[in-house]
Amino acid sequence: METIWWILVAVLFVLAYAGLILPALPDAPFVLAGFLIYHFLIDPTQLGWSFWIPAILVVLLLFVVDYIAGGLAARKYGGSKWSMVAAIAGVLIFPLFLGPVGIIVGPFILVLLTELFLNRSSEDAVKVAFSTLVGFLGGVFVKFLAITGMIVWFLFLVFV
């Protein structure tokens, strides 16, 4: 039975990486679910509070990064407060119609349209929209590193 639980843990870790590019999949919560399955169904003694507290904090932080990275980047490069809202809406809405491509295209288009609607110059609107894209991709990169770090830490604790 333990083998089945290990397979489920591995599948959850793979789904976490898929969640980096597929908006319907919650990346960091999948990692946490894998840890929980290990803890409750395989070995409840291996992972202590010194693991759980940072792991939960990182998952919460990644959840926040997921939704605001693009918006914060837009705001930093001169976007209005509405650009941040548009970036988040783009991440949530466009993937429903365009799939994974919508994660990149959606925030860019909505921020661009928002800035143009607010009478920004075309050049400034494109700059803010592009910074949204860079912020989103930067967020994905940070989440990739954090998820990989958490999994490596978990495997180190379990197997070493």
In this prediction the pTM is 0.81
Q: Which residue has the tokens 């169904």?
A: 41
pLDDT value at position 102? 86
pLDDT value at position 103? 83
> pLDDT tens digits, the chain, 160 residues: what are they?
999 999 999 999 999 999 887 767 889 999 999 999 999 999 999 999 999 999 999 999 887 777 676 666 666 777 788 887 888 888 888 888 888 788 889 989 999 999 999 988 999 899 989 988 888 788 889 899 999 999 999 999 999 8
70-97 CB burial, b ≥16 within 10 A, e <16: bbbbbbebebbebbbebbbbbbeebbee
pLDDT value at position 10? 98
Q: Which residue has the tokens 């599948």?
A: 11
What is the domain partition of the chain in residue ranges? 2-159
CA 87 from centre of chain: 14
Half-sphere exposure of 135 (CA within 13 A, CB side): 28
Residue 145 vs residues 20, 35, 150: alpha-carbon distances, Å: 11, 17, 9
Helix (H) or strand (E) holding 42: none
pLDDT value at position 3? 96
**Cβ-based neighbour number of residue 143 at 10 Å:** 23
CA 7 from centre of chain: 23
pLDDT value at position 74? 67
Half-sphere exposure of 84 (CA within 13 A, CB side): 12
Q: For residue range 37-61, list pLDDT tens digits in order.
A: 999 999 999 999 999 999 999 999 8
Q: Which amino acid is at 37?
A: I
